[in-house]
Amino acid sequence: MDKIRIKGGIALNGVIPIGGSKNAGLPLMAASLLCSEPLILCNLPHLADITSMANLLGQHGVEMSLAEDLGQVANGGHCLKLDGSRITSTEAPYDLVRKMRASVLVLGPLLARCGEARVSLPGGCAIGARPVDLHIKGLEQMGAEIEIEQGYINAKAPRRLRGAEIVLPFPSVGATENLMMAATLAEGHTVLVNVAREPEIVDLADCLIAMGAEIAGAGTDRIIIQGKDRLHGATHRVIADRIETGTYMIAAGITGGDVVLTGTSLKLLTAVGKVMNQAGIEVTDVENGIRVRGSSGNGRPVIDGVDVMTEPFPGFPTDLQAQMMALMSVADGAAMITETIFENRFMHVPELCRMGANINVHGASAMVRGVKRLTGAPVMATDLRASVSLVLAGLAAEGETIVNRVYHLDRGYERLEAKLAACGAEIERIRAS
């Protein structure tokens, strides 16, 4: 298995281009199941999770090809054409779903278009139990008949899904996406209440509208969808990845560097920008991006009173909690980080402590007392964001850090080493022989 070697202590300086959003791209790809004309997605990142979704859609019968030259729409980037004209299978098998939980996003589209779907239950994962009960209950309210059998969700809607008012007890991102996609082809209108407001939801709604769907309210806690008999093809550009953006903002901050992130926007990360500014790291809007200037010299970030609590958007994202903890580990002062979205998302704590961090976990909260320096060590983590937090810690640490299990990073960060090395980091991938 590949490893990443980092020699820490170098302030990052330069420009980092931000790619398209993984978590917007996955539901957008699933939306190709909703119509019999091609959907062209531009600015899709080249990541293992995107490949997993492509493999899943391929076995449903979606034909895919790369399109490069789409002029202005593509901005010269790579585009993927997804042609769902012939759905050959409505089953999402365990072997594909277990590799990536977002596979469950094919459930709503398949059921709405084909009247049936058989999707393996994803099961728990490293960060928590992560059930999909809200997806299932919402589809049942739209008239679907659903049974759980032998680890599979067997869903049927022989007489077409029908619009309904569905109140989510928690604003689940995935449930909002699945239900919104299903409602575009349901009979009548659907009102989704207490839904997720994440930018990825707005991006999906924009794409569905371009495909002919009638959707109002995306980005608020109430979405109204008027169902259509069919949708048509469209071309859509995926939004910038706000979690990749936030990760590199923290990389600049933790090393006391000066980095410009291009192709992204601070509007996607207001809560994160606020926390970093409070800690004395200068985060500003620039044309087509964000500039981050860490406290230079021996001026470490100051975190006294800068407590962080993860919350659904527009609150502080759970997907940046581990990275922010790495930053706080080397800051001046002490602060509390509370995780409210997932029940088991502190696996990075023992590894950060092995590098010299002073962190104590009490239930859903972690007390971080900043230390003057971390020291490099061999480390590993069991999920994507925890893994990248160790890379960030390694960039700030004295000496050499080896991050194992790099395949987690490949799920969500495209050309991570190259982007950091271009800003002066001493970082390299050691390929497994």
Catalytic residues: 125
Q: Which of 186, 188, 129 is nearest to 159 (CA)?
A: 186
- Residue 341 found at the interface with ligand EPZ (CB under 6 A): yes
Residue 283 or 384 having the CB closest to ligand EPZ? 384
342 binds ligand EPZ, rule: CB under 6 A = yes
Report how far residue 127's alpha carbon sits from residue 341's, in angstroms, rounded to the nearest whole number. 10
Q: Does 223 bind ligand EPZ (CB under 6 A)?
A: no
Count of residues in contact with ligand EPZ, rule CB under 6 A: 24
Angle at 340 between CA 366 and CA 126, to 5 degrees: 80
410 touches ligand EPZ (CB under 6 A): no
Vertex 419 angle, CA 318 and 415, to 5°: 75
Residue from 6, 10, 12, 26 binding ligand EPZ (CB under 6 A)? 26
Which of 172, 245, 264, 389 is the binder for ligand EPZ (CB under 6 A)?
Answer: 172
- The one-letter amino acid code at 249 reads M
Q: Is 384 in the site for ligand EPZ (CB under 6 A)?
A: yes
> Looking up tokens 């589209």, which residue turns up?
109
Q: Can you tell me the distance from the alpha carbon of 82 to that of 63, in angstroms, rounded to the nearest whole number? A: 6
The sheet that has 282-286: what strands, in order across it? 13-17, 258-262, 289-293, 282-286
What angle in degrees, to the nearest 10, is found between the helix axes of 22-30 and 242-255?
A: 170
Which residue from 126, 423, 130, 128 is spatially nearest to 255, judged by alpha carbons?
423
174 contacts ligand EPZ (rule: CB under 6 A)? yes
SS3 147: strand
Stretch that binds ligand EPZ, among 7-15, 127-135, 184-192, 323-331 (CB under 6 A): 127-135
- Which CB sits closer to ligand EPZ, 297 or 363? 363
- Rounded to whole angstroms, the Cα distance separating 73 from 237 reads 7
Q: Which is nearer to ligand EPZ, 195 or 397 (CB)?
A: 195
Report the SS3 class of residue 206. Answer: helix
Q: Are strands 426-430 and 116-120 parallel, antiparallel or unpaired?
A: unpaired
Q: Is 412 in the site for ligand EPZ (CB under 6 A)?
A: yes
Out of 16, 79, 110, 173, which residue is the one contacting ligand EPZ (CB under 6 A)?
A: 173
Q: Considering only the stretches 125-133, 185-193, 234-242, 328-336, report the one whose residues sit in contact with ligand EPZ under the rule CB under 6 A.
A: 125-133
Region from 85-93, 130-138, 223-231, 281-289 binding ligand EPZ, contact rule CB under 6 A:
130-138
Output the residue with the shortest Cβ distance to ligand EPZ: 174
Considering the complex, state which of residue 176 and residue 329 has its C-beta at the smaller distance from ligand EPZ: 176
Q: Could you tell me the smallest distance in angstroms from the CB atom of residue 172 to ligand EPZ?
A: 3
Considering only 10, 16, 19, 23, the residue that binds ligand EPZ (CB under 6 A) is: 23
DSSP string, 39-97: EEEES----HHHHHHHHHHHHHT-EEEEE---HHHHTT--EEEEE-S-----EE-HHHH
Binding mask 291-320 for ligand EPZ (x = CB under 6 A): ---------------------------xx-
Q: Which position among 42, 175, 179, 347 is part of the footprint of ligand EPZ (CB under 6 A)? A: 175
Least separation in angstroms between residue 406's CB and ligand EPZ is 16
Sign of CA dihedral 299, 305, 310, 315: negative
State the nearest-atom distance from the C-beta of 55 to ligand EPZ, in Å.
Answer: 16
When asked if residue 244 is in the footprint of ligand EPZ (CB under 6 A), the reply is: no
Report which secondary-structure segment, H or E, holds 258: strand 258-262
Nearest to 388 by CA among 369, 406, 376, 375: 406
Closer of 23 and 255 to ligand EPZ (Cβ): 23
Residue 170 binds ligand EPZ (CB under 6 A): yes
**Is residue 242 close enough to count as binding ligand EPZ by CB under 6 A?**
no
Q: Which residues, in sequence order, are CB contacts of 421 under 8 Å at separation 6+? A: 427, 428
Amino acid at the residue 343: E
Q: Does 349 bind ligand EPZ (CB under 6 A)?
A: no
* Binding region for ligand EPZ (CB under 6 A): 23, 26, 101-102, 128-135, 170, 172-175, 318-319, 341-342, 384-385, 412
